[in-house]
Structure 1
Amino acid sequence: MRWLVVMVAMVFCCPLIAGSESHAASSLKRNSEVYELGEVVVQGTPLGVESIGTVRETPAQYIQEKGTTDVSKVINYLPGIHTRLAPEGVPRVDIRGFRSRHVLLLLDGVPLNSTYDGQFDPAILPVENIADIKVSYGTHSVLYGEGGLGGVINIITKKGQEGLRGMVNGEAGDSDYYLMRSAVSGAKGPVNFFLSGSLSERDAFKVSDNFHATSLQDEGKRDNSDFQKKNLFANIGFTPTDKTKLGFVFSTAQGQYGKPPSTLSKSTDPFANNAKYERVESYRNYSWQGSGSHEITDRLSLRGWVFFNKLNEKEKSYDDNTYSNISTNGKFSQTSETDSSGAALQTRYDLKKAGFLTLGLNGRKDEWDARGVKYERVGSGRNARVESKPINDDKETSTYTAALEYEVSPVKDLGIVLGYAHNWFDPEEQADNLNKGNFLAGLTYDVRNGTRVKGSFAKGVRFPSIKQLYDATSGNEDLKAETAYTYEAGIEQSLPWKSTLSVTGFLINAKDYIEKRDSSDTYENYQKYRFQGIEVVAENRYFNNIWFRAGYTLLSAKDRSHGTQVDDLQYRPRHKFTFETGYKSSFGLSAYAGMRYLASQYTYSDDYRKKSLRNYAVVDAKIEQALIRDTLSLYVLVENLFDRNYEESYGFPQAGRTVFGGATVRF
């Protein structure tokens, strides 16, 4: 209750000290390259569904200024988002305390979360294709359906512009890293297209010079941290009339990567994980979608899309760090295939002064198939031995959603949004289906020019994944759907000297949260988790060629379940502070610098002892010079400029100072 009082006071007191310019918003805006059919939510009014909650956008211009090639590193400066390189060897994106499996990742509106465990790997998505990254936090539109308890990340790709243009880029860095990528796009009349491809490889990343060798990890190159990636992407758009748009998107990715093991031994450190020597020896992903929109009348419009995703993956768990033999207890060699296919349809009706009404229907079928061999201990005592057993498993689930959303502005400067969706979950091997509803209610009000207040309340649901239901050692077929009740209030305020400020408070009660219970190593529904906090973003663009942005997140993540043995949930930093600045001169020189500081996060041993992780600050910087009328540009990028030795998960050190250099030719 104390947090609700603070949130309400914050909303109504902040306007008293503010200026009176335009609404707070980043000056980095989308350009005309956005593939419009990649949107899931289309606002009917500036006071619509995306104005009542928190939606933060990252356009291509910012991605280029920052210079990173990893989507997780693009968004890790946003408030409320914590990205961490997990033991699985891929980045995880947490939002407001929720894990990445509680975040929907979409590419042009199509879900990319794994059909097996609900996770995703943002690092496989090439940033050169991206026109905008839209992050919608907990009180998002019900048109997204179930799953996004923490939020929704929709990556919207580029489309071709009139004429023909292109780009070729080469980049190299430490540890035999290289990247080659190119893109070409164009448009003529009703047809536009965008085509890109990339190839990248890394031998290993280097740990900080301040890292001290352990029995499991030497100084220098991080064990088993190599990767290879190949990507190809294409979209084509066709606009036969002003009222009709059609589009087709295709992408494919393939490669391999290692999963760096823990650097600490559990035999000497109770907080460490057991070292695992695992690799994804190969993966291959295919994805396509067809979409279209049509204005039937000046008041009625129709949008729809169909999609198909396929991922083939070969994974091995080895006996030791030689990565050669598979023969001991718990090791395996597995080839898996996951398929996801579905369709969605939206109809939108303009009620004129009475608002906008949108009906959304969607369905998705997820399939998982695994083949291979695993090694298990059988017998006991002197008869104990390890035997190989075949892996031969396949599962299937279907999910359906019907949603209705209403947006209205009954009086000037006031917007109201109401939405309800019902979701049905049909696991193939269960007689009883799960079904549950989610809803959204919110409003936004322009108090005066330059001051907007907003508040919203939402109920979100997420159904258990195939892994949580059916995993051979930890699955639980009696799991219930997870539920989250999110309260949010905030203010967006323009200030003097071309400055903006936004402050948002949130309170989330999560019930039936699914995690492993240590005593049985099975997935269970925990009674109640609570996430609450405040997010602040301030930006200044007083000077035409330089900008500053600062952000702060305060997060309290608690286990409120009856009889719990933990208080603070692990790997949820309580404090996150970010600062960024960018500069662009009249003679083609541009520079970027960013700093992230994270503090007060914890981990636990198997017997629930608590340990604090070290606080850390990491600085990244880039400098670029454009030449020959912006046709050629040369740049240098440094990540972890001060070579900080830090961990995002206990026993898993991150890369030290890493230097990249590159050249880009545009035509």
Structure 2
Amino acid sequence: MDTKIATFALAGALAAPQAALAQDAGAVYNLGEIHVTAPGETPDDRGVPVATPTTRAAAKVPFQSATPAPIGGDTISAEKFETFEKATLDKAVELTPGVIAYDMAGSRNEQNIYVHGFDRWQVPILLDGVRIYLPVDNRLDFGRFLTSNLAEVQISKGYASVLDGPGAMGGEINLVTRKPTKAVEGEIGTDFDFSRSGWYTGSRSYARVGTKQDLYYLQAAGAFNNSRGWELPDAYVGNVHQGEGLRGNSAAKDRDINLKAGYTPNATDEYSINYLRQEGQKGAPYNVSPYGYSPYTSMAPKYWTWPYWDVQSLAALTHTQIDPTAYVNTKIFWNRFDNALRQYSDAAQTTQSDGNAGNSSYHDWSLGGSVEAGKDILPWDTLKAALHYRRDTHNEQSFGFTNPKTGKPAGCVANTPCYASPVINEYEDTYSVALENTAHVWDHVDLVQGFSYEWRNTLKAQGFNGSNAPYGMIYYPNSYAAAPNGQVAAIWRYNDTDKVYLSFSDRTRFPTLFERYSTKFGYAIANASLQPERAANVQLGWEGYVAQRLKVEADVYGSDVQDMIGTVQNIPLPNGKTTTQSQNIGHGHILGADLKADWAATDDLALGGHASLIHRWVNYSKGVTGQLTGVPGVAAFFYAQWRPLANVTLTPDVQIAGQRWSSNAAGNGYVQTGAYALVNFKAEWQAYEGLTFTAGARNLTDRLYVLSDGYPEPGRTFYLGARYTF
């Protein structure tokens, strides 16, 4: 541990809990976590925001075996998703400060999420406390996750409890599904989208039905999203690769089903089996840099599509209360991941006949589990321990349409694979042991200390070289990596509603198989010696009421990242060409601040929003240059919610973001995309109890804006919807 980290650790002795204090599933003490009603929820007797006419016949009750809400992070409720019409996870998470969604890889049409500057590789995603992890590259597409069956999304920022498992270097995101609370309950809803020109562009539908009995509960839920694509803003000027109007190759389909069965023999214990199946398919719009204002002169677009992008998860979760002061939680899971990439030679996606064409499929699975136990060892002290294990297995095969030795189509037949690689197999085991102690040192002060030790065994790693000599299979040596992790946090609840917290976390993230071994279809070189990266995070925050109906939250934070992992471009090769490689690029730094407020101005009017500032930079290693992409220096969200009639609610909101860096369209440098402000509006009418109709618009001003170089975002979109709960 270097001097800077040691200094952070000393400061952390005063620190405050975030996720850690909330892990107390079996503790006797009520630490007094305050729940702030979000827009769309029913106000409590303190007049907490927000005004809404909607009566929910079926409450969005979170699944009780999931990780509780983090302290110092944020919890976004299902009511809030509905209020602001956030149908997918990438859109929903931006309802909290310090979290940014980004189309980081336009040619892949993937949505990434940054939490306090850390992305999907550094911020694990969990489903009811079970890690969802793509074994080879963890390139989760957050745009594929639908929110209709979620009770809430819990976001830990910077500090995530070591009890939750390995990899949470910059925080974590936990998706908490719903569970029934009545003998018969359910919900059904649908939405229809229309472009600015009035074209029908898609629909979303979802349904849920469940029952809660004395000793058990059952639930089935499903959702379907069928997008025919979206229309570009009116200011967009077409070019050879994209005309005006509907964005080419932007269609997508997503569907999921979630089945849940639980046994509740008493008031505290719960044993459940949960199954999720999610199926998706998507296109990838073509690069039109520079935004259509001049002829396209850069590299040719990638004509890619994904015929399937599927996830399955089967998990058994238990909570057993041994006695009033002790508990045991267990999780056993199996996850399956299947996806396929089709690469074409032409924009019409009818021909595969050159070096740009190919087919690639992944068939991966993960298997593992965890045990967590806690006990009050003293009236003022609680000790917890956890053990995690996960086996990740990757199976991949690629098909090419050129001669593998010449790279030319001579001797090959169009649309018929000219060669097939052997099936590449890779697998590795990841372990974590963790201890966490919560000491109630004074009546209103709690101190949490956590330690974990994580290790990873890569048992098999293969590759295939079909682009450059020597051709054939590549067998990488097995590898081992291990790292300790520590954190300390403290919270001072100086009255019933307000608190101050300070936290320190020092966590490691092991690089993925993709980062270490992938040659990216011959455009990169492997780096089997890539080292783990480590972040020391410090966060100071306050939340409380400055008036009875006005709640404010604020925090400042800093992160120090050693051995930061990134992609280095323009590495020279002996043949005069250049390539890329994942490397430890240097020493990273992050400084930021968040501010959030919700105010119930009157019984029928609520105002609120949040704002974030962040600055990231890297002291690069010798010979390395680059930019940190994806995160604007400033971002904000403001809303108003007004009830002019007893059964009508009007909700305008504005989303603002400053400039951010993006990899340029040619893939050999960086550009800054422009700042923007998006205006959205929603009207909601409760026809009668349980039945609600909605209408609204996104990007109401039809703003032309870009997140990734060459990939303009959707223009003005209208929607109509209906929802019935019982």
Could you say whether these structures have the same fold, taking a TM-score greater than 0.5 normalized by the shorter chain as the test?
yes
- C-alpha change, 1:271 and 1:338, in structure 2 (3 Å) is farther
Out of 368-377 and 157-166, give the one that drifted further: 368-377
Match of residue 496 from structure 1: 547
The aligned residue for residue 489 of structure 2 is 442
Aligned equivalents of 2:79, 2:407: Cα separation in 1: 64
Q: Does 1:355 align with 2:381?
A: yes
CA RMSD, Structure 1 to Structure 2 (Å): 2.9
SS in 2 for 1:214: coil
Q: 1:378 to 1:192 in 2, by over 3 A?
A: closer
Deviation of 1:607 (Å):
9.7
Q: Paired residue for 1:16?
A: none
Q: CA deviation at 1:107?
A: 0.8
Q: 1-side partners of 2:558 and 2:589: how far apart?
A: 7
Alpha-carbon distance in structure 2 between the residues aligned to 1:523 and 1:498? 50
State the Cα deviation string for residues 83-122 of structure 1 (Å, max 9, x = none). Answer: 0223121221111222222221111111223212122122
Query: How far apart in 2 are the matches of 1:565 and 1:292?
Result: 49
Q: Is the 8 A contact 1:557 1:568 kept in 2?
A: no
Whether 1:284 and 2:310 are equivalent positions in the alignment is yes
Structure 2 equivalent of residue 35 of structure 1:
63
Of 638, 646, 662, 1:579 maps to: 638
The letter of the residue matching 1:186 is T
> Matched residue of 1:38: which SS?
coil
Q: Distance in 2 between matches of 1:608 and 1:530?
A: 24
Aligned partner letter, 1:398 = D
Which residue number in structure 2 is paired with residue 18 of structure 1? none
Offset, 1:383: 12
The answer for the alignment partner of 2:420 in structure 1 is 390
User: Which moved further from structure 2: 401-410 or 471-480?
Assistant: 471-480
Q: 1:32 to 1:639 in 2, by over 3 A?
A: closer
Do the aligned partners of residues 603 and 632 (structure 1) sit closer, same or farther apart at CA in structure 2, a change above 3 Å counting?
closer
- 1:160 and 2:188 correspond: no
Residue of structure 2 in register with 1:45 after alignment: none
CA distance in 2, matches of 1:413, 1:92: 39
Instruction: Tell me the secondary structure at the aligned position of residue 128 of structure 1.
Output: coil
How many Å apart are 1:474 and its aligned residue?
3.6
Matches within 5 A, 1:63-212: 63-86=81-104, 87=106, 88-174=108-194, 175-212=200-237
C-alpha distance in structure 2 between counterparts of 1:464 and 1:238, whole Å: 39
CA–CA distance in structure 2, aligned partners of residues 663 and 565 of structure 1: 53
Counterpart residue number, 1:640: 699
Are the aligned partners of 1:146 and 1:463 in contact in 2 as well (CA < 8 Å)? no
- Post-superposition offset of 1:587: 2.6
Aligned counterparts of 1:504 and 1:401: Cα–Cα separation in 2: 30
Which residues of structure 2 form unaligned runs of 5+? 16-31, 43-58, 195-199, 461-476, 572-579
Deviation at 1:522, TM superposition (A): 1.2
Given that 2:239 and 2:296 are in contact with CA atoms closer than 8 Å, whether structure 1 keeps it comes out as no
| Contact 2:268/2:321, CA 8 A, preserved across alignment | yes
Deviations 1:434-490 (A, max 9, x none): 011111111111345654221111111111111112213443111111111111112
> Contact 1:624/1:636 (CA < 8 Å) preserved in 2?
yes
**Within the alignment, does 1:557 sit opposite 2:557 as a pair?**
no
User: Alignment partner for residue 478 of structure 1, among 521, 529, 553?
Assistant: 529
Structure 1 unaligned regions, length at least 5? 13-21, 43-49
| SS state at 1:198 partner | strand
Cα deviation, residue 519, structure 1: 2.5
More divergent stretch after superposition (574-583 vs 641-650): 574-583
AA aligned to 1:390 is A
How far apart are residue 431 of structure 1 and its match?
Answer: 3.7
Aligned to 1:234: 259
- Structure 1: distance between partners of 2:329 and 2:295: 55
The CA deviation at 1:625 is 0.7
Give the C-alpha shift of residue 354 in structure 1: 3.2
Residue 248 of structure 1: how far off its partner (Å): 1.0
Residues 1:385 and 1:436: Cα distance change in structure 2 (over 3 Å) = farther
Q: Shift of the alpha carbon at 1:25?
A: 5.9
Quote the Cα distance in structure 2 between the aligned partners of 1:596 and 1:374. 44
Preserved CA contact (<8 Å) 1:526 1:561: yes
Amino acid at match of 2:247: R
* Structure 1 position 585, deviation (Å): 5.9
The corresponding residue for 2:74 is: 56
Letter in 2 for 1:468: E
C-alpha distance in structure 2 between counterparts of 1:381 and 1:462, whole Å = 37
In 2, Cα distance between the equivalents of 1:23 and 1:583? 28
What amino acid is aligned across from residue 672 of structure 2 in structure 1? S
Question: What amino acid maps onto 1:425 in structure 2?
Answer: R
Pairing 1:469–2:516 present:
yes
Judged with a 3 Å threshold, the aligned counterparts in structure 2 of structure 1 residues 170 and 354 are, in CA distance, closer, same or farther, namely closer
The amino acid that maps onto 1:199 is: F
Post-superposition shift, 1:351? Answer: 2.4
TM-score, normalised on structure 1? Answer: 0.90
Which secondary structure state, in structure 2, belongs to the residue aligned with residue 162 of structure 1?
coil
Where does 1:496-515 land on structure 2 (aligned, <5 Å)? 496-515=547-566
| Partner Cα separation in structure 1 for residue 532 and residue 501 of structure 2 | 29
Aligned mate of 2:363, from 325, 337, 361? 337
Alignment CA distance shift 1:221-1:239 (3 Å)? same
Partner of 2:36: 26
1:609 and 1:270 map into 2 onto residues whose CA distance is: 17
Residue 46 of structure 2: aligned partner: none
Does residue 365 (structure 1) correspond to residue 396 (structure 2)? The answer is no
Match of 2:501 in 1: 454
Would you say how many aligned residue pairs link Structure 1 and Structure 2?
A: 641
Post-superposition offset of 1:601: 1.6
Taking the aligned partners of 1:228 and 1:382, their CA distance within structure 2 comes to 35
